[in-house]
Amino acid sequence: MLAIDTNLIVRYLTGDHPKQSPRARALIDGHPVFVGVTVILEVEWVLRSTYGFAPLEIARTLRAFGGLPTVEVEDGAVVSSALDLSEKGFDFADALHLGKSAHCAGFATFDRKFVKAAKAAGYEGVQEA
């Protein structure tokens, strides 16, 4: 299994580079690959900020990518839950932070918007620091 970086996934998903996109497609379709949670976080950010993907489109795209037979996503259940929340308007990075810290008693932040959104989504342990 080969770990891959954000740029390969972006090239694979967008097909935006005439030389690198086909190489990314051949590598990912032809070999078992591992995608770390941090890479998924970065891919979401690039798709949203650089390519203008909407949250629903990002969730659909990342779910399809993670479902490829050659792709293994680290903490797939956590990533899937974060995508669920992002589809409901929750910031993906914040949702991922919550999922990765589920083993903790709570979550503290200065981000009031995060606290409000988390509580609305049923995460009562999120609090303002």
What is the extent of the structural domain holding 55?
2-74
For residue 34, tell me if it sits in a domain.
yes
- pLDDT value at residue 121: 87
Say how far apart CA 104 and CA 109 lie, in whole Å.
Answer: 14
Domain count, the chain: 1
Q: What is the pLDDT of residues 27-69, one digit of tens each?
A: 999 999 999 999 999 999 999 999 999 999 999 999 999 999 9
For residue 14, tell me if it sits in a domain.
yes
pLDDT > 70 fraction of the chain, expressed in percent and rounded: 100
* pTM for this model (two decimals): 0.91
What is the number of other CB atoms lying within 10 angstroms of the CB of residue 50?
Answer: 11
Angle at 111 between CA 42 and CA 78, to 5 degrees: 45
- pLDDT value at residue 89: 86
For residue 110, tell me if it sits in a domain.
no
Say how far apart CA 44 and CA 104 lie, in whole Å.
Answer: 25
